[in-house]
């Protein structure tokens, strides 16, 4: 199967709606990089883009006056609402390349393991520009993508691929990824309206702490 066959927004949404329950069961804990990024930060509004079952929104609720989770999958958002029993958050269905938030409206963002599901460089860069648009002056976001530094991959340059998700019972559901190499990730960040505070690789992923000062036009 060609990666592009499962990469458009409707297909990505259908894929994650299909695997939502099982996927959520395997995503109970936050990535360790998130609490490290949020340590000492606070703001009026925090947003998790590609929030899935909301595991990172809960952390935003602890440090922001308003926490928002956005995801393309209605099924995952429904599971996020079910999980949110001891904190308040707003849940929005939407696409990361056309964010339904106002300019300068977000103080803290987490954009984890989602950018790599967008099916073209132009769309990925547009999504990074959207993140720059919604970040308030002084706001910061953490962005991550799956990387060629992961032990799963032999490639050293970025590439498109399909990775199957196996449901209980053996059914496989294909998921599109663009696997970034670290230099390519930095090039896309540099080409966007974001300013880059720092980048690093960890656990097979590329990360960037970003803002918008001095870069956005």
What is the number of H-type helices and E-type strands within the chain?
Answer: 6, 9
Q: What is the pLDDT of residues 120-166, one digit of tens each?
A: 999 999 999 999 999 999 999 999 999 999 999 999 999 999 999 99
Specify whether the CB–CB gap between 96 and 114 falls below 8 A: yes
Residue 216 domain-assigned (yes or no): no
Range of the domain at 64: 3-211
Residue 174 domain-assigned (yes or no): yes
Residue 81 domain-assigned (yes or no): yes
Residue 17 domain-assigned (yes or no): yes
CATH number of the domain to which 190 belongs:
3.40.50.150
Residue 217 domain-assigned (yes or no): no
Q: What is the pLDDT of residues 45-69, one digit of tens each?
A: 999 999 999 999 999 999 999 999 9
Angle at 121 between CA 117 and CA 122, to 5 degrees: 110
pLDDT at 3 over 60: no
CA distances from 156 to 27, 31, 148, 150 (A): 28, 24, 6, 10
pLDDT at 4: 42
Residue 88 domain-assigned (yes or no): yes
Residue 191 domain-assigned (yes or no): yes
If one counts the domains in the chain, the total is 1
Q: How far apart are CA 186 and CA 196, in angstroms?
A: 9
Specify whether the CB–CB gap between 74 and 105 falls below 8 A: no
pLDDT category of residue 1 using cuts at 50, 70 and 90: very low
Residue 188 domain-assigned (yes or no): yes
pLDDT category of residue 217 using cuts at 50, 70 and 90: low
């Amino acid at each position: 199967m060609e990666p592009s066959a499962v990469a458009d927004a409707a297909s990505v949404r259908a894929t994650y709606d299909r695997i939502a329950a099982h996927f959520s069961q395997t995503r109970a804990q936050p990535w360790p990089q998130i609490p490290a990024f949020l340590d000492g930060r606070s703001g009026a509004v925090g947003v998790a883009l590609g929030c899935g079952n909301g595991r990172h929104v809960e952390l935003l609720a602890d440090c922001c006056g308003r926490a928002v989770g956005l995801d393309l999958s209605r099924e995952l958002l429904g599971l996020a609402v079910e999980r949110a029993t001891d904190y308040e958050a707003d849940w929005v269905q939407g696409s990361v390349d056309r964010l339904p938030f106002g300019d300068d409206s977000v103080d803290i963002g987490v954009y984890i393991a989602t950018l790599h599901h967008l099916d073209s460089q132009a769309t990925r860069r547009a999504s990074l520009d959207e993140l720059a648009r919604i970040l308030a002056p002084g706001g910061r976001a953490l962005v991550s993508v799956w990387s060629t530094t992961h032990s799963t991959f032999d490639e050293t340059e970025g590439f498109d691929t399909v990775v199957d998700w196996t449901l209980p019972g053996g059914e496989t559901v294909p998921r599109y990824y663009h696997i970034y190499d670290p230099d390519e990730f930095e090039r896309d960040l540099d080409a966007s309206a974001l300013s880059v505070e720092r980048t690093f690789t960890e656990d097979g992923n590329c990360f960037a702490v970003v803002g918008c000062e001095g870069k956005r036009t």
